[in-house]
Amino acid sequence: MTAGVALVALGVAAVSCASEQPRGGAGTSSPVTAIAPSQPAGTPDLGSPEVVAQGIDVPWGLAFLPDGTALVAERDTGRILRVAPGRAPETFYEVPGVVARGEGGLLGLAVDPAYAESGYVYAYFTAEDDNRIVRFREDTEPEVVIDGIAKAGNHNGGRIAFGPDGMLYVGTGDAGRRELSQDVSSPNGKILRLTPDGAPAPGNPEPDSPVLSLGHRNVQGLAWDRAGTLFAAEFGQNRLDEINVIEPGGNYGWPAVEGAGGADRGFIDPVLTWSTAEASPSGIAIAGDTLYVAALRGERLWTATVSEDSATDPQDFFRDDYGRLRTVEVAPDGALWLTTSNTDGRGDVRDGDDRIIRIPAR
C-alpha cells in the first residue's frame, strides 16, 4: 500500500446541483469522521457526499465483495486495494504483467456473482502485447479468460461487469484503429458477452463469437436497468459523447457516424448525447430509474431518467468540485461510490487526490 493512501471516515458535506455549486466547494472540504447509514432501497442523496479514501494512485475499476467492501484497481501500479469505511485501504491482490502506458494499465474489475463459492475476481488490463481479462482468487495465480484484444496508447476500453443473466460483459475500444470496430472478426470496438470461463455466451448473435454489438469507438461504462436493459457509455471523437441502449447484433456506427444520424444507414442512434467538453463519460450505474454517469473531461456527475429504453432529462452535479470522475457504482447498501481521476496525467491534482467518494442512499 502506498504511503499516501489514507482512509478518512464518512460524513456530510452540502452539495447542490452543479449550476449552483462554486468551484472547489465539496472537493476541497476536510474529511469528516461520521459514517452515514444507507438504505438499499433508497435514493442516493447527492447532497451528502462523503470521502472514504484518498491518496489512491489512478483508481479505475471498482467492484464490491459480498460483505460490502470495495475492490479498487490502481491503473498504474497494478494493485487492487480493498476499501472499507472505518479502516485503512489494504492490498488485496497485485495483478502481474500489467503494462501501464497512456490510457492502458489495470482497468476494469468484476466480482463473480457466485463469489461465495468460486472466490473469483475478474480484471481487465493492458499486458505487453494485448489487452486481456484474467480471473483469480485472492491467494492464486491469475488465469486468462480472454486475450488478444488489441492495445494502444488510448482507446483500450476496459469496463467489465456481470449482467443479470450471469454472463460477463466487456467494453472494448478500437485501439486507435477505426476499421476494427466494423470488423466482425475483431474483439475491438465491441461489447463482448462471455461465459464466466471466457467462451462465447449462449444466445449471442453468432454462436461462435463473443461479440454482442459492434461499431463502438471506446466503451467505458456498462449498466442495466431494472427491466434488464443494457446501457453503455462511449467516448465520442470531436463532437458528441454517447449513451447507447445495446441491442444484440446492433451496429452503433463508428467510424461512419459520431452521435446520431445513422439510423437511415442501418446503425443504431444513441439515446443521449453531450458535447465532448461536457462529458467524456466513463463509468455508469443505474439505481432505481436514475442513470448516473461519471464524466472525465466534463468534471461532473451526470444523471438522467431511464424508462422504456430511453434516457432523458440530463442534469449535472458536482461540477468542478472533485475534478475528473472515472467510475460510479452502486454498493450493496444502496450507496453510490465515485472515484476521481486527477492523477492520471490529464487532471489538475488537488490535495488528497485521488479520492473515493460515497453517497448514501436515503
- Count CB-CB contacts under 10 A for residue 19: 9
- 35-55 per-position pLDDT tens digit: 799 999 999 999 999 999 999
Distance CA 212, CA 223 (A): 15
Q: In terms of DSSP bridges, do strands 131-136 and 87-94 run parallel, antiparallel, or are they unpaired?
A: unpaired
Residue 26's pLDDT is what?
Answer: 47
pLDDT for the residue numbered 12: 30
Question: Quick one: pLDDT at residue 242?
Answer: 97
Instruction: Please name which of 77, 73, 16 lies closest in space to residue 49, comparing C-alpha atoms.
Output: 16
Q: Is the per-residue pLDDT at 17 higher than 70? A: no
For the beta sheet containing 59-64, the strands, ordered from the edge strand earlier in sequence to the opposite edge, are: 59-64, 70-74, 79-84, 87-94
What pLDDT does residue 27 have? Answer: 46
Contacts of 133 (CB under 8 A, 6+ apart): 122, 123, 124, 125, 144, 145, 146, 147, 160, 168, 170, 198
pLDDT, tens only, 342-359: 999 999 999 999 999 999
- pLDDT above 60 for 19: no
Mean pLDDT of the chain: 91
Cell output for 258: 459520431
Q: For residue 35, with 0-12 CB atoms within 10 Å meaning exposed, 13-18 middle and 19 or more buried, which class applies? A: middle
318: which 3 cell numbers?
458536482
> Quick one: cell of 285?
450505474
Give tens-digit pLDDT for 86-126: 788 999 999 999 999 999 999 999 999 999 999 999 999 99
pTM of the predicted structure, to 2 decimals? 0.92
- What was the pLDDT predicted at 86? 75
Chain centroid, CA 299 distance in Å? 15
